[in-house]
Amino acid sequence: MERLIFHIDVNSAYLSWTAVENLKNGDSVDLREIPAIIGGDMASRHGIVLAKSIPAKAYKITTGEPVAHALQKYPKLVMAPPNHKLYSQYSHRLMELLRTFSPAIEQVSIDECYMDFTDYIKNYNSPIDAATKIKDTVRNTFGFTVNVGISNNKLLAKMASDFQKPDRVHTLFPEEVPKKMWPLPVRDLFMVGKSAAATLEKLEILTIGDLAHTDVSILESHMKSHGRLIWEFANGIDDSPVQTQEVELKGVGNSTTLSKDAETSADAKKVLRALCDQVSSRLKKYGQLAGMVSTEIKYATFTNVSHQRQLPNATDDAATLYHYVCLLFDELWNGEPVRLLGVRTSKLTSDPEPVQMSLFDLPKTQKEQKADKAAEELRKRFGDSIIKKGV
């Protein structure tokens, strides 16, 4: 299956997060709707512009310029100081939400990440539908907006997310590169900084298309290995994977925001079954057994509830996890429509102590063990969706 990569970027992150927090605290003016910046000190006129609103951009105020210069361009500019603790909180909450759509996330800064959506597109009609769902869920949950770029590699997804803003979804697949990317100024290409752009312009390479059609040996003679890199980028070439950084395992879990609210127990349990299969596969991948499992429910009203329970024996078996997850779901669910479901395991161990089986612990037959092993091999080769057990 061809890769499907999303690049998700918060629109004017620092300013957006400050604006949302100010509105929550009773402010009547939305900083995003007036000429405003984050950064510096109004009294001393020192510091640099860390973020700007779209109305501020109309006055040619740029991120990174001195605040004093920005005030010369528009003396009535509204300024707000940075609050990095607040930004860290919003970033953490955003990444938690995004992982409910796909856990395969590479966070590259406080306000942007790559998401490998290859294994999850089956739940949606199209990549645009999926990206729009993500974008709208972020806006409706937190009050700020993101752009989502879609492609089959990281470079083109990032370029796409930089197209028209805010609150937009854009595609940039290889066949779209000549029309959408090549006409852009060469300095708009990722990894082309001021110095590289100046060198390219001296060579009369003014657009990304010019760069794509330049003899790569000429670029290497002037810019060494960086010349080849940006030539590849200009041609849409990028094979780098989404690097999901696994922290020291304290738990393994997965959750998903449903494309349509689950209104019955049966509908919800179909999703829980799939989540248990995914969690089981990840436990096996890491060589871990879970001693505790929890079920999470988020209702259509955005109310969250969760409950956990100790397992009789540490396990990585999907059917066992599903059994206890369903028990927890039945305890938790109040009958209201469900928009998100999650399954998490904790108390992991790679070397469980021997356990005494009770008369009620029925070991799997050799045939069942072979079937489980065969199913696991199929999932490894073809993805989690290739085979599923009935509920």
User: Hey, which residues are catalytic here?
Assistant: 112
Task: With CA atoms as reference, report the closest residue to 280 among 332, 364, 348.
Answer: 348
User: What are the CA-CA distances from residue 197 to residues 190, 191, 223, 368 (Å)?
Assistant: 11, 10, 11, 62
Rounded CA-CA distance 219/272 in Å is: 53
d(C-alpha 117, C-alpha 189), whole Å: 24
Query: SS in 3 state form for the chain?
Result: CCCCEEEEEECCHHHHHHHHHHHHCCCCCCHHHCCEEECCECCCCECECCEECHHHHCCCCCCCCEHHHHHHHCCCCEEECCCHHHHHHHHHHHHHHHCCCCCCEEEEECCEEEEECCCCHHHCCCHHHHHHHHHHHHHHHHCCCEEEEEECCHHHHHHHHCCCCCCCEEECCHHHHHHHCCCCEHHHCCCCCHHHHHHHHHCCCCEHHHHHCCCHHHHHHHHCHHHHHHHHHHCCCCCCCCCCCCCCCCEEEEEEEEEEEECCHHHHHHHHHHHHHHHHHHHHHHCCEEEEEEEEEEECCCCEEEEEEEEEEEECCHHHHHHHHHHHHHHHCCCCCEEEEEEEEEEEECCCCCCCCCCCCCCCCHHHHHHHHHHHHHHHHHCHHHCCCCC
Which burial class, exposed, middle or buried, applies to 163 when counting CB atoms under 10 A from its CB (0-12, 13-18, 19+)?
middle
For residues 94 and 192, give the distance between their C-alpha atoms in angstroms, rounded to a whole number: 29
